[in-house]
């Protein structure tokens, strides 16, 4: 593996916290992800089920976890099942976990080969009063994949129709929202790699380069530092592409006078960074570009310094407060009329998506970050201490052919939020100064 070993105490504590949430007589079962297939006999890189990784640290397919916190036999309270390796597997796929190394990674003493999983299920499930089974309940998921967790849940409900099956996802979601010191350190490492990738790209950007060449500079630095690559498909968008929120072509020439928007992040040890910077291709903002840039930067700073704090309702309070600040900035840019905005603000029943500012700012200001780039968040959630979130305001002037988005990753703290990307240049003067320095 490319990343340094993670302290197994992270996974020991995660399981302890989950066990404390389970009612008496409960058993929880979680599976690894499948290897994703492309076509014919080709597969893509394995990406672990986030919940299994959160509970075990195991980064390998065909792995299962059974938690039975109040089992009469202490050896049955935590059981991890991994794929038995062989000389043939080692030749074709490389070294897999042994039972001993799986214990080192996870902190689980009872590790068995996965052919022991079915007998264990037959002996355990009938004794459970409640069975907690996993399912991807992310509000924005549109996946049609039929996962090992899905297949297992369907089979258990068929074989044991009288067993009370419960949802594990709500418990894990609440736990995963609050990050431990170890998790924050891993996220900081991903952010530091992203910082160095941005610094490398900033030296390379100039009129005439292709967007995919900038992407290559970022990828080079990410991989060089032990990241497995991009945390998500990178957005490297110049010119009018700035205004395409999920632009993925990355195939245009960066032209003199254009802005280049880079929404990228490095993945490290399954934890993800998420950065956005918008820079002038020739090193200097036009007057209009700079006015919009500074407006977005002010919204960005207000979110971090004034709006985000533990206890604030994310959707009902934070996003609405950020929207009102955005409206004020759009008035200052001459894009909204102050009287029309005042009239809309009097109408408390008017949905946010119907308000005029949405023409220039049509996405959310923040999302959770962690093992998933859009990490799990409880419905109608509040910011909590040690939650890690992005702050990513933007303004998109499609009629003028450019947009600006800025984004950092922060740890929510009652005494003042911690910016994991505080050392990545963002001030407009600093961006221009660095680009001029690189050209000299």
Q: For 29-68, how does the pLDDT look when each residue is reduced to its tens digit (9 = 90+)?
A: 999 999 988 888 888 889 999 999 999 999 999 999 999 9
Domain boundaries of the chain, sorted by first residue: 9-175, 181-439
In the structure encoding, which two tokens stand for residue 171, read together? 């418990």
Encode pLDDT of 307-357 as tens digits.
Answer: 999 999 999 999 999 999 999 999 999 999 999 999 999 998 999 999 999
In terms of Cβ atoms closer than 10 Å to its own Cβ (0-12, 13-18, 19+), residue 119 is exposed
Which of 20-34, 130-144, 257-271, 413-427 shows the lowest mean pLDDT across its residues? 130-144
Encode pLDDT of 121-136 as tens digits.
Answer: 999 999 999 999 998 8
Confidence check: pLDDT of 140 > 90: no
Query: Which CATH architecture describes the domain 181-439?
Result: Alpha-Beta Complex (3.90)
Radius of gyration of the chain (CA): 24
The pTM of this model reads 0.96
* Residues 156 and 133 sit within 8 Å (Cβ to Cβ): yes
Do the two domains 9-175 and 181-439 of this chain adopt the same fold?
Answer: no
Domain over 9-175 is classified CATH 3.40.350.10? yes
Cα→Cα distances 7→16, 65, 96, 104, 107, Å: 15, 19, 19, 9, 9
Active-site amino acid positions = 41, 246, 263, 274, 363, 367, 374, 392, 396, 405, 407
Q: Which residue has the tokens 């040890």?
A: 269
Find, among 67, 56, 59, the residue nearest to 9 by Cα. Answer: 56
């Amino acid at each position: 593996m490319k990343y340094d070993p993670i302290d197994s105490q992270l996974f020991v504590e995660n399981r302890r916290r989950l066990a404390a949430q389970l009612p008496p007589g409960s058993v929880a079962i979680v599976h690894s992800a499948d290897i994703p297939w492309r076509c014919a006999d080709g597969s893509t890189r394995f990406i672990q089920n986030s919940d299994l990784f959160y509970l075990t640290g195991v980064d390998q397919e065909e792995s299962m976890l059974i938690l039975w916190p109040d089992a009469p036999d202490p050896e049955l309270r935590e059981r991890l099942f991994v794929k038995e390796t062989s000389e043939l597997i080692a030749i074709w796929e490389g070294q897999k976990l042994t039972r001993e190394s799986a214990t080192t990674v996870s902190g689980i003493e009872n590790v068995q080969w996965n052919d022991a999983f079915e007998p264990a299920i037959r002996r355990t499930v009938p004794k459970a009063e409640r069975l907690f089974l996993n399912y991807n309940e992310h509000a924005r998921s549109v996946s049609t994949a039929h996962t090992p967790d899905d297949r297992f849940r369907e089979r258990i409900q068929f074989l044991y129709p009288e067993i009370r099956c419960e949802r594990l996802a709500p418990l894990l979601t609440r736990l995963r929202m609050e990050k431990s010191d170890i998790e924050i350190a891993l996220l900081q490492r991903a952010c530091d790699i992203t910082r160095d990738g941005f610094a490398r790209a900033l030296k390379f950007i100039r009129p005439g380069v292709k967007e995919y060449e900038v992407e290559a500079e970022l990828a080079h630095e990410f991989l060089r530092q032990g990241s497995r690559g991009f945390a998500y498909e990178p957005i490297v968008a110049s010119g009018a592409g700035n205004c395409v929120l999920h632009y993925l072509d990355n195939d245009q020439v960066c032209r003199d006078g254009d802005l280049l928007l880079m929404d990228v992040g490095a993945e490290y040890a399954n934890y993800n960074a998420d950065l956005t910077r918008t820079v002038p291709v020739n090193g200097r903002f036009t007057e209009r570009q700079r006015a919009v840039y500074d407006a977005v930067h002010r919204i960005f700073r207000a979110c971090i310094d004034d709006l985000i704090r533990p206890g604030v309702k994310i959707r009902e309070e934070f996003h609405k407060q950020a929207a009102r600040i955005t409206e004020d900035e759009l008035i200052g840019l001459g894009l909204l009329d102050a009287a029309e905005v005042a009239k809309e603000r009097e109408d408390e029943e008017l949905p946010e998506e119907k308000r005029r500012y949405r023409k220039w700012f049509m996405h959310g200001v923040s999302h959770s970050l962690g093992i998933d780039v859009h990490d799990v968040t409880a419905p109608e959630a509040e910011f909590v201490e040690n939650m890690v979130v992005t702050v990513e305001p933007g303004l998109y002037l499609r009629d003028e052919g450019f947009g600006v988005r800025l984004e950092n990753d922060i740890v929510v703290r009652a005494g003042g939020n911690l910016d994991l990307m505080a050392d990545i240049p963002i001030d407009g003067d600093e961006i221009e100064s660095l680009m001029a320095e690189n050209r000299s």
